[in-house]
Structure 1
Amino acid sequence: MAKILDRILLLIYSLVVGVLSILSILLMTGSYTLTLNKEQGHTLLISSIVVAAVLILLSIRFFYISVRRERNHQSSIDQRTDYGDIQISVDTIENLSYKAASRVRGVREVKTRIRIAESGLEIMIRAVVDGESSIPAMTEEVQKQVHDHVEEITGIPVAYVSVYIANLVHSPVIKSRVE
């Protein structure tokens, strides 16, 4: 929700800055002249201060968004051994998970996502299956294969593997023709 709000604020900010830039250019080049009485001048001054304050607040917000660091986002997992440090990227673990899940019979398409927790890796698998074998048995096999493969290859404990079956793929029916 916060990202959507930030995008809307960024859109409004961009539009206001664009309009103010065009107005400033017109006023500075003399293409447009402004004649105001004392009351209109006072209203314009107050409006300008309010718009400037809002733009400053939005600028501070966007600056904060651009420099802040994502707390839960880690690009690698660090391990220390007797011989030195090891870093394994999250992409590597996603690819290992993909490879293990794709080996299971009946699984057609796989997408993986990794979350790093205190208890170990949390692996989320999204799969499309052929629908010709038992889904509970297949998902259990996917969980076992991914869990064992990732732990064996990386040495990092896997807390759990969740599997989401997104859809079924219908196998094309080939009718044999008897003559």
Structure 2
Amino acid sequence: MAKILDRLMLFIYSLSIGVICIVAILLLSGAIPYDLTSAQEQALFLGGIIAASILLLLSLRFFYLSIRRERATTNSIDQRTEYGDIQISVETIENLCLKAASRVRGVRDLKSRIKVSQAGLDIAIRAVVDGEESIPGLTTEVQKQVHDFVEETTGIPVSGVSVYIANVVQAPSFKSRVE
């Protein structure tokens, strides 16, 4: 709704500025008769013509932006098979990465980011670990799980999985109470 309102306001603004600029150019250029008496007024009117021309060009650009249709771009990875085309959204692959990484014990608060390259998918995983396991062992396990799961599930080659450990959280310790 806000986008439609913004486009409507941009349309009205560009149309009104365009009309004002055309009238100003016609007045200042002499197409509509007007008496100029001094050289200073002529210089002022020349500056006015230039300013009105620039505003007219901006108005035309804004008018074009307000009426053009936006192309809906969905970030997806397209594959062609013998049966037809397949499109997998980047969001889907990010969710698959999170699912695979969450299977590793000791990893929490996962976030993923996907970059598509010629070599395949570059996957970046951000995680918080509990500190009970070896961090190099955890990251290697996360890399292996994500790499294998995404390649197996989507059929898209994964060129690399990088893991960023953002923090270590301590597991809550419970004191047993003996009576």
Runs of 4 or more consecutive aligned structure 1 residues displaced over 3 Å after TM superposition: 38-45, 47-52, 54-61, 66-69
Q: What's 2:137 paired with?
A: 137
Residue 54 of structure 2 aligns with an amino acid whose one-letter code is A
1:170 matched to 2:170: yes
Q: What's 2:115 paired with?
A: 115
Cα separation, partners in 2 of 1:58 and 1:128, compared to 1, 3 Å: farther
1:100 matched to 2:111: no
SS state of the match for residue 162, structure 1? strand
1:53 matched to 2:46: no
| Residue 50 of structure 1: how far off its partner (Å) | 3.9
Distance 2:114 2:77 in 1: 11
TM-score by length of 1: 0.64
| Residue 178 of structure 1: how far off its partner (Å) | 2.9
Cα separation, partners in 2 of 1:154 and 1:60, compared to 1, 3 Å: same
The structure with more radius of gyration:
2
| Residue 163 of structure 1: how far off its partner (Å) | 0.6
Residue 119 of structure 2 aligns with an amino acid whose one-letter code is S
Residue 176 of structure 1 aligns with an amino acid whose one-letter code is S
Please list the CA deviations of residues 133-176 of structure 1 after superposition, one character each: whole Å capped at 9, or x if unmatched.
11111011000000000001111110000111111222222112
SS state of the match for residue 176, structure 1? coil
Residue 102 of structure 1 aligns with an amino acid whose one-letter code is S
Counterparts of 1:125-164 in structure 2, within 5 Å, are: 125-164=125-164
Q: Which residues of structure 2 form unaligned runs of 5+?
A: 1-9, 21-37
Q: What value does the CA root-mean-square deviation take over the aligned residues? A: 3.6
TM-score by length of 2: 0.64
